[in-house]
Amino acid sequence: MDLDWSAADLAFRDEVRAFLAEAVDDELRAAGTRMTSVYPDHHASIAFQKKLAARGWGAPSWPREHGGCAWSVVQRYLFARERLAAGAPPPPLGIHMVGPAIIRFGTPEQHARFLPGTLSGDILWSQGYSEPQSGSDLASLQMQAIDDGDDLVCTGSKIWTTHAHVSNWMFALVRSARESRPQQGITFVLLDMHSPGISVRPIVMSSGEHIQNQVFFDAVRVPKANVLGKIGDGWTVAKFQLEFERSNLASAPESQLRLDELRRFAASVRTEDGDSMLDDPLFASRLAAARVRATTLEHYELQALSAIAGGGSPGLAASIMKIVGTELSQHLTELALDAAGFYGRAYQPQAFRPGGDVMLPHASDATNGPLAAAAAPLRYLNDRAATIYAGSTEIQYNILAKAALGL
Protein backbone atom coordinates (compact mmCIF):
# COMPACT_ATOMS: atom_id res chain seq x y z
CA MET A 1 0.00 0.00 0.00
CA ASP A 2 1.48 3.34 -1.15
CA LEU A 3 0.20 6.33 0.82
CA ASP A 4 2.45 8.92 -0.83
CA TRP A 5 0.85 11.56 -3.03
CA SER A 6 1.81 11.34 -6.71
CA ALA A 7 2.98 14.34 -8.74
CA ALA A 8 -0.47 14.46 -10.33
CA ASP A 9 -2.11 14.44 -6.88
CA LEU A 10 0.06 17.36 -5.75
CA ALA A 11 -0.69 19.29 -8.94
CA PHE A 12 -4.40 18.76 -8.36
CA ARG A 13 -4.06 19.91 -4.75
CA ASP A 14 -2.37 23.12 -5.91
CA GLU A 15 -5.14 23.72 -8.46
CA VAL A 16 -7.76 23.34 -5.73
CA ARG A 17 -5.87 25.69 -3.42
CA ALA A 18 -5.71 28.35 -6.11
CA PHE A 19 -9.43 28.08 -6.81
CA LEU A 20 -10.38 28.22 -3.13
CA ALA A 21 -8.12 31.21 -2.50
CA GLU A 22 -10.18 33.14 -5.06
CA ALA A 23 -13.63 31.66 -4.45
CA VAL A 24 -13.79 31.72 -0.63
CA ASP A 25 -14.46 35.33 0.33
CA ASP A 26 -14.77 36.70 3.85
CA GLU A 27 -18.51 35.93 3.96
CA LEU A 28 -18.06 32.28 3.04
CA ARG A 29 -15.07 31.93 5.33
CA ALA A 30 -17.05 33.30 8.26
CA ALA A 31 -19.83 30.81 7.53
CA GLY A 32 -17.36 27.93 7.33
CA THR A 33 -15.18 28.75 10.33
CA ARG A 34 -17.89 30.03 12.68
CA MET A 35 -20.19 27.02 12.50
CA THR A 36 -21.45 25.83 15.87
CA SER A 37 -22.28 22.31 14.70
CA VAL A 38 -21.84 20.14 11.60
CA TYR A 39 -24.62 22.12 9.92
CA PRO A 40 -23.62 25.26 7.99
CA ASP A 41 -25.68 28.34 7.33
CA HIS A 42 -27.71 26.97 4.42
CA HIS A 43 -27.60 30.25 2.47
CA ALA A 44 -23.80 30.25 2.55
CA SER A 45 -23.67 26.54 1.73
CA ILE A 46 -25.80 27.08 -1.38
CA ALA A 47 -23.79 30.16 -2.40
CA PHE A 48 -20.57 28.14 -2.27
CA GLN A 49 -22.23 25.24 -4.07
CA LYS A 50 -23.17 27.55 -6.94
CA LYS A 51 -19.54 28.67 -7.24
CA LEU A 52 -18.41 25.05 -7.32
CA ALA A 53 -21.04 24.14 -9.90
CA ALA A 54 -19.96 27.04 -12.13
CA ARG A 55 -16.38 25.72 -11.95
CA GLY A 56 -17.57 22.21 -12.78
CA TRP A 57 -16.69 20.97 -9.30
CA GLY A 58 -20.17 20.80 -7.80
CA ALA A 59 -20.31 17.02 -7.33
CA PRO A 60 -16.89 15.41 -6.82
CA SER A 61 -18.16 11.82 -6.62
CA TRP A 62 -20.79 11.95 -9.39
CA PRO A 63 -20.05 10.63 -12.89
CA ARG A 64 -19.53 13.19 -15.62
CA GLU A 65 -22.66 12.22 -17.51
CA HIS A 66 -24.69 13.53 -14.57
CA GLY A 67 -22.72 16.76 -14.18
CA GLY A 68 -20.17 15.45 -11.71
CA CYS A 69 -16.39 15.60 -11.66
CA ALA A 70 -15.73 11.85 -11.77
CA TRP A 71 -12.79 12.51 -9.47
CA SER A 72 -10.83 9.65 -8.00
CA VAL A 73 -11.27 8.96 -4.31
CA VAL A 74 -7.83 10.51 -3.73
CA GLN A 75 -8.89 13.72 -5.47
CA ARG A 76 -12.08 13.84 -3.42
CA TYR A 77 -10.07 13.45 -0.23
CA LEU A 78 -7.62 16.16 -1.21
CA PHE A 79 -10.45 18.51 -2.15
CA ALA A 80 -12.22 17.92 1.17
CA ARG A 81 -9.00 18.54 3.08
CA GLU A 82 -8.27 21.77 1.18
CA ARG A 83 -11.85 22.99 1.61
CA LEU A 84 -11.52 22.59 5.35
CA ALA A 85 -8.17 24.39 5.39
CA ALA A 86 -9.65 27.27 3.36
CA GLY A 87 -12.54 27.65 5.80
CA ALA A 88 -15.28 27.11 3.21
CA PRO A 89 -18.67 25.76 4.35
CA PRO A 90 -19.56 22.15 3.50
CA PRO A 91 -21.88 21.46 0.55
CA PRO A 92 -25.63 20.80 0.89
CA LEU A 93 -26.30 17.23 2.01
CA GLY A 94 -27.99 16.32 -1.28
CA ILE A 95 -24.62 16.28 -3.03
CA HIS A 96 -23.07 13.48 -1.02
CA MET A 97 -26.15 11.69 0.29
CA VAL A 98 -29.26 11.46 -1.89
CA GLY A 99 -27.51 12.44 -5.12
CA PRO A 100 -25.46 9.22 -5.38
CA ALA A 101 -28.56 7.19 -4.46
CA ILE A 102 -30.60 8.82 -7.25
CA ILE A 103 -27.78 8.10 -9.69
CA ARG A 104 -27.56 4.46 -8.58
CA PHE A 105 -31.27 3.61 -8.26
CA GLY A 106 -33.12 6.34 -10.13
CA THR A 107 -34.87 6.19 -13.48
CA PRO A 108 -33.76 8.41 -16.40
CA GLU A 109 -36.75 10.63 -15.64
CA GLN A 110 -35.67 10.98 -12.00
CA HIS A 111 -32.12 11.74 -13.10
CA ALA A 112 -33.37 14.55 -15.34
CA ARG A 113 -35.75 15.93 -12.74
CA PHE A 114 -33.64 15.90 -9.58
CA LEU A 115 -29.93 15.83 -10.37
CA PRO A 116 -29.48 19.23 -12.09
CA GLY A 117 -31.31 21.07 -9.30
CA THR A 118 -29.37 19.21 -6.62
CA LEU A 119 -26.12 20.09 -8.36
CA SER A 120 -26.97 23.78 -8.70
CA GLY A 121 -28.34 24.14 -5.16
CA ASP A 122 -31.85 24.97 -6.37
CA ILE A 123 -33.14 21.75 -4.76
CA LEU A 124 -32.38 21.74 -1.05
CA TRP A 125 -32.94 18.30 0.49
CA SER A 126 -33.79 17.23 4.01
CA GLN A 127 -33.61 13.65 5.30
CA GLY A 128 -36.73 11.94 6.66
CA TYR A 129 -35.48 8.85 8.47
CA SER A 130 -35.87 9.07 12.26
CA GLU A 131 -39.29 8.94 13.90
CA PRO A 132 -40.33 9.59 17.52
CA GLN A 133 -40.12 5.84 18.27
CA SER A 134 -37.60 4.85 15.57
CA GLY A 135 -34.19 6.44 15.76
CA SER A 136 -31.11 4.26 15.74
CA ASP A 137 -33.34 1.21 15.23
CA LEU A 138 -34.38 2.65 11.89
CA ALA A 139 -35.98 -0.57 10.62
CA SER A 140 -38.75 -0.13 13.20
CA LEU A 141 -40.10 2.97 11.43
CA GLN A 142 -43.88 3.23 11.23
CA MET A 143 -44.76 6.14 8.90
CA GLN A 144 -47.46 4.54 6.76
CA ALA A 145 -47.64 4.58 2.96
CA ILE A 146 -50.89 3.19 1.53
CA ASP A 147 -51.03 2.20 -2.12
CA ASP A 148 -53.71 4.23 -3.92
CA GLY A 149 -53.46 3.92 -7.68
CA ASP A 150 -50.64 6.09 -8.99
CA ASP A 151 -49.82 7.41 -5.50
CA LEU A 152 -48.65 6.36 -2.08
CA VAL A 153 -50.65 8.11 0.64
CA CYS A 154 -48.26 8.84 3.51
CA THR A 155 -49.28 9.49 7.13
CA GLY A 156 -47.01 9.80 10.16
CA SER A 157 -44.14 11.97 11.33
CA LYS A 158 -40.37 12.33 11.10
CA ILE A 159 -38.16 13.90 13.76
CA TRP A 160 -34.71 15.50 14.04
CA THR A 161 -35.14 16.55 10.42
CA THR A 162 -32.34 18.98 9.62
CA HIS A 163 -33.36 22.10 7.68
CA ALA A 164 -36.84 20.75 6.93
CA HIS A 165 -38.15 24.30 7.42
CA VAL A 166 -36.10 25.59 4.48
CA SER A 167 -35.86 22.52 2.25
CA ASN A 168 -38.08 22.12 -0.79
CA TRP A 169 -37.63 18.32 -1.08
CA MET A 170 -37.18 15.46 1.36
CA PHE A 171 -35.91 11.93 0.84
CA ALA A 172 -37.64 9.62 3.28
CA LEU A 173 -38.28 6.04 4.28
CA VAL A 174 -41.90 4.93 4.71
CA ARG A 175 -43.64 1.68 5.69
CA SER A 176 -45.49 0.40 2.61
CA ALA A 177 -46.07 -3.18 3.86
CA ARG A 178 -45.83 -5.37 6.98
CA GLU A 179 -43.41 -8.23 6.46
CA SER A 180 -41.76 -10.88 8.63
CA ARG A 181 -38.53 -8.87 8.81
CA PRO A 182 -38.75 -5.16 9.71
CA GLN A 183 -36.27 -4.23 6.95
CA GLN A 184 -38.77 -5.52 4.39
CA GLY A 185 -41.75 -3.47 3.28
CA ILE A 186 -39.89 -0.15 3.49
CA THR A 187 -39.97 2.21 0.52
CA PHE A 188 -37.64 5.10 -0.30
CA VAL A 189 -39.59 8.14 -1.53
CA LEU A 190 -38.79 11.65 -2.74
CA LEU A 191 -41.27 14.10 -1.18
CA ASP A 192 -42.18 17.56 -2.41
CA MET A 193 -42.21 19.65 0.80
CA HIS A 194 -44.91 21.90 -0.68
CA SER A 195 -47.36 18.99 -0.87
CA PRO A 196 -50.70 19.45 0.93
CA GLY A 197 -50.77 17.79 4.35
CA ILE A 198 -47.16 18.55 5.38
CA SER A 199 -46.52 20.69 8.46
CA VAL A 200 -43.18 21.48 10.12
CA ARG A 201 -42.68 22.14 13.83
CA PRO A 202 -39.33 23.56 15.01
CA ILE A 203 -37.11 21.81 17.55
CA VAL A 204 -34.84 24.32 19.27
CA MET A 205 -31.46 22.82 20.07
CA SER A 206 -29.85 23.13 23.49
CA SER A 207 -27.60 25.83 22.01
CA GLY A 208 -30.71 27.85 21.12
CA GLU A 209 -30.58 27.29 17.36
CA HIS A 210 -33.43 26.19 15.11
CA ILE A 211 -31.85 23.59 12.85
CA GLN A 212 -33.88 20.46 13.62
CA ASN A 213 -37.60 19.90 13.15
CA GLN A 214 -40.44 17.45 13.54
CA VAL A 215 -42.39 17.02 10.30
CA PHE A 216 -46.00 15.78 10.23
CA PHE A 217 -47.63 14.10 7.22
CA ASP A 218 -51.41 13.94 7.02
CA ALA A 219 -52.48 11.81 4.04
CA VAL A 220 -49.75 13.27 1.84
CA ARG A 221 -49.94 11.95 -1.71
CA VAL A 222 -46.58 10.93 -3.19
CA PRO A 223 -46.61 9.91 -6.85
CA LYS A 224 -45.14 6.46 -7.42
CA ALA A 225 -42.94 8.17 -9.99
CA ASN A 226 -41.11 9.59 -6.93
CA VAL A 227 -40.26 6.17 -5.49
CA LEU A 228 -36.51 5.56 -5.66
CA GLY A 229 -35.81 1.93 -6.47
CA LYS A 230 -38.62 -0.56 -6.00
CA ILE A 231 -41.62 -0.31 -3.69
CA GLY A 232 -40.83 -2.38 -0.61
CA ASP A 233 -37.07 -2.40 -1.29
CA GLY A 234 -36.18 0.95 0.24
CA TRP A 235 -33.85 -0.65 2.78
CA THR A 236 -31.44 -1.50 -0.04
CA VAL A 237 -31.38 2.15 -1.14
CA ALA A 238 -31.01 3.37 2.45
CA LYS A 239 -28.03 1.08 3.17
CA PHE A 240 -26.29 2.39 0.07
CA GLN A 241 -26.97 5.99 1.08
CA LEU A 242 -25.97 5.51 4.72
CA GLU A 243 -22.62 4.11 3.64
CA PHE A 244 -21.89 7.47 2.04
CA GLU A 245 -23.07 9.33 5.15
CA ARG A 246 -20.91 7.32 7.55
CA SER A 247 -17.73 7.05 5.48
CA ASN A 248 -16.39 10.58 6.00
CA LEU A 249 -12.80 10.21 4.83
CA ALA A 250 -11.91 13.77 5.86
CA SER A 251 -12.79 13.49 9.55
CA ALA A 252 -9.15 13.30 10.67
CA PRO A 253 -7.97 16.43 8.79
CA GLU A 254 -10.85 18.35 10.38
CA SER A 255 -9.84 17.04 13.81
CA GLN A 256 -6.23 18.07 13.19
CA LEU A 257 -7.33 21.61 12.28
CA ARG A 258 -9.48 21.81 15.39
CA LEU A 259 -6.56 20.59 17.50
CA ASP A 260 -4.31 23.28 16.04
CA GLU A 261 -6.89 25.95 16.88
CA LEU A 262 -7.38 24.52 20.37
CA ARG A 263 -3.66 24.49 21.03
CA ARG A 264 -3.33 28.14 19.98
CA PHE A 265 -6.26 29.08 22.18
CA ALA A 266 -4.96 27.12 25.18
CA ALA A 267 -1.54 28.79 24.79
CA SER A 268 -3.23 32.19 25.15
CA VAL A 269 -5.19 31.24 28.28
CA ARG A 270 -3.49 32.11 31.55
CA THR A 271 -4.07 30.44 34.89
CA GLU A 272 -4.06 32.24 38.26
CA ASP A 273 -0.30 31.62 38.44
CA GLY A 274 0.21 33.29 35.08
CA ASP A 275 1.05 30.03 33.36
CA SER A 276 -0.40 28.92 30.04
CA MET A 277 -3.01 26.18 29.97
CA LEU A 278 -0.41 24.17 28.07
CA ASP A 279 1.74 24.20 31.23
CA ASP A 280 -0.97 22.25 33.05
CA PRO A 281 0.30 18.64 32.87
CA LEU A 282 -3.18 17.13 32.93
CA PHE A 283 -4.55 19.38 30.17
CA ALA A 284 -1.38 18.96 28.10
CA SER A 285 -1.54 15.17 28.38
CA ARG A 286 -5.21 15.13 27.33
CA LEU A 287 -4.39 17.35 24.36
CA ALA A 288 -1.50 15.08 23.37
CA ALA A 289 -3.71 12.00 23.67
CA ALA A 290 -6.27 13.64 21.37
CA ARG A 291 -3.51 14.33 18.83
CA VAL A 292 -2.51 10.67 18.92
CA ARG A 293 -6.12 9.63 18.32
CA ALA A 294 -6.47 12.09 15.44
CA THR A 295 -3.25 10.83 13.85
CA THR A 296 -4.37 7.23 14.27
CA LEU A 297 -7.71 8.05 12.67
CA GLU A 298 -5.92 9.75 9.77
CA HIS A 299 -3.80 6.66 9.13
CA TYR A 300 -6.94 4.53 9.22
CA GLU A 301 -8.69 6.86 6.79
CA LEU A 302 -5.74 6.75 4.42
CA GLN A 303 -5.79 2.95 4.53
CA ALA A 304 -9.50 3.01 3.71
CA LEU A 305 -8.74 5.53 0.97
CA SER A 306 -6.20 3.15 -0.54
CA ALA A 307 -8.68 0.26 -0.44
CA ILE A 308 -11.42 2.29 -2.12
CA ALA A 309 -9.00 3.56 -4.76
CA GLY A 310 -8.29 -0.07 -5.56
CA GLY A 311 -11.95 -0.73 -6.32
CA GLY A 312 -13.10 -1.74 -2.85
CA SER A 313 -15.84 -0.34 -0.61
CA PRO A 314 -15.76 1.43 2.78
CA GLY A 315 -17.71 -1.54 4.16
CA LEU A 316 -17.18 -1.99 7.89
CA ALA A 317 -14.57 0.76 7.86
CA ALA A 318 -17.45 3.22 7.61
CA SER A 319 -18.74 2.10 11.02
CA ILE A 320 -15.28 2.17 12.60
CA MET A 321 -14.52 5.67 11.35
CA LYS A 322 -17.96 6.85 12.45
CA ILE A 323 -17.26 5.66 16.00
CA VAL A 324 -13.71 6.98 16.29
CA GLY A 325 -14.37 10.26 14.50
CA THR A 326 -17.45 11.28 16.47
CA GLU A 327 -16.04 10.26 19.85
CA LEU A 328 -12.89 12.26 19.11
CA SER A 329 -14.99 15.24 18.05
CA GLN A 330 -16.87 15.19 21.35
CA HIS A 331 -13.58 14.93 23.25
CA LEU A 332 -12.28 18.06 21.51
CA THR A 333 -15.36 20.05 22.56
CA GLU A 334 -14.72 18.97 26.15
CA LEU A 335 -11.13 20.18 25.99
CA ALA A 336 -12.23 23.50 24.48
CA LEU A 337 -14.78 23.98 27.25
CA ASP A 338 -12.09 23.35 29.87
CA ALA A 339 -9.82 25.92 28.22
CA ALA A 340 -12.66 28.46 28.01
CA GLY A 341 -13.00 28.60 31.79
CA PHE A 342 -15.53 31.11 33.10
CA TYR A 343 -15.91 32.68 29.64
CA GLY A 344 -17.52 29.41 28.61
CA ARG A 345 -20.47 30.14 30.88
CA ALA A 346 -21.71 32.99 28.68
CA TYR A 347 -24.32 32.47 25.96
CA GLN A 348 -23.02 34.36 22.93
CA PRO A 349 -24.39 32.90 19.68
CA GLN A 350 -24.34 36.34 18.03
CA ALA A 351 -20.65 35.90 17.23
CA PHE A 352 -21.22 32.83 15.07
CA ARG A 353 -22.91 31.54 11.92
CA PRO A 354 -25.02 28.58 13.03
CA GLY A 355 -27.03 26.44 10.67
CA GLY A 356 -30.30 28.11 11.64
CA ASP A 357 -31.86 31.07 13.39
CA VAL A 358 -31.09 31.53 17.09
CA MET A 359 -34.42 31.30 18.90
CA LEU A 360 -33.39 32.03 22.50
CA PRO A 361 -32.86 35.61 23.74
CA HIS A 362 -29.26 36.73 23.49
CA ALA A 363 -27.14 39.87 23.52
CA SER A 364 -26.45 41.69 20.26
CA ASP A 365 -23.31 43.54 21.29
CA ALA A 366 -19.68 42.55 20.85
CA THR A 367 -18.42 39.21 22.11
CA ASN A 368 -17.04 39.12 25.63
CA GLY A 369 -13.78 37.23 25.95
CA PRO A 370 -11.95 35.25 23.27
CA LEU A 371 -14.00 34.06 20.31
CA ALA A 372 -12.89 30.47 20.86
CA ALA A 373 -14.19 30.62 24.43
CA ALA A 374 -17.58 31.87 23.25
CA ALA A 375 -17.75 29.02 20.75
CA ALA A 376 -16.88 26.31 23.26
CA PRO A 377 -20.27 25.85 25.02
CA LEU A 378 -22.26 26.04 21.78
CA ARG A 379 -20.13 23.41 20.07
CA TYR A 380 -20.08 21.26 23.21
CA LEU A 381 -23.88 21.21 23.41
CA ASN A 382 -24.39 20.60 19.69
CA ASP A 383 -21.81 17.82 19.47
CA ARG A 384 -23.60 15.67 22.04
CA ALA A 385 -25.58 14.35 19.07
CA ALA A 386 -22.48 13.30 17.11
CA THR A 387 -22.48 9.75 18.48
CA ILE A 388 -26.21 9.42 17.70
CA TYR A 389 -26.81 10.76 14.20
CA ALA A 390 -26.11 8.59 11.12
CA GLY A 391 -26.46 5.52 13.34
CA SER A 392 -25.54 5.63 17.02
CA THR A 393 -22.26 4.30 18.37
CA GLU A 394 -24.13 1.36 19.90
CA ILE A 395 -25.64 0.48 16.52
CA GLN A 396 -22.19 0.68 14.90
CA TYR A 397 -20.82 -1.72 17.52
CA ASN A 398 -23.69 -4.10 16.78
CA ILE A 399 -22.91 -3.94 13.07
CA LEU A 400 -19.25 -4.73 13.74
CA ALA A 401 -20.09 -7.52 16.16
CA LYS A 402 -22.41 -9.17 13.68
CA ALA A 403 -20.53 -8.64 10.41
CA ALA A 404 -16.91 -8.83 11.59
CA LEU A 405 -17.09 -11.17 14.60
CA GLY A 406 -20.10 -13.27 13.69
CA LEU A 407 -21.76 -12.66 17.05
Active-site positions read: 245
What CA–CA distances, in Å, run from 265 to 38, 262, 270, 369, 387? 21, 5, 10, 12, 26
Closest CA to 188 of 148, 141, 118: 141
Neighbours of 260 (CB within 10 A): 11
Q: Say if residues 125 and 71 touch (Cβ distance below 8 Å).
A: no
Spatial distance between the Cα atoms of 105 and 226, rounded to a whole number of angstroms: 12
Which of 404, 129, 145, 326 shows the shortest CA–CA distance to 242? 129
DSSP per position, 303-354: HHHHHHHTT---THHHHHHHHHHHHHHHHHHHHHHHHHGGGGGS--GGGS--
Cα torsion at 395, 396, 401, 402 (round to 10°)? 70
Residue 21 φ/ψ, nearest 5 degrees:
-60, -30
Smallest Cα–Cα separation from 356: which of 130, 247, 240, 200?
200
Closest among 219, 251, 60 to 155, alpha carbons compared: 219
- Angle at 376 (CA atoms; ends 375, 379), nearest 5 degrees: 80
- In angstroms, the Cα distances linking 322 to 38, 245, 391 are 14, 9, 9
As to burial, measured by CB atoms within 10 angstroms (0-12 exposed, 13-18 middle, 19+ buried), residue 187 is: buried
Residues in Cβ contact with 78 at an 8 Å cutoff, skipping those fewer than 6 apart: 5, 9, 12, 13, 16
Partners of residue 220 on adjacent β-strands: 154
3-state percent helix, strand, coil for the chain, nearest multiple of 5? 50, 15, 35
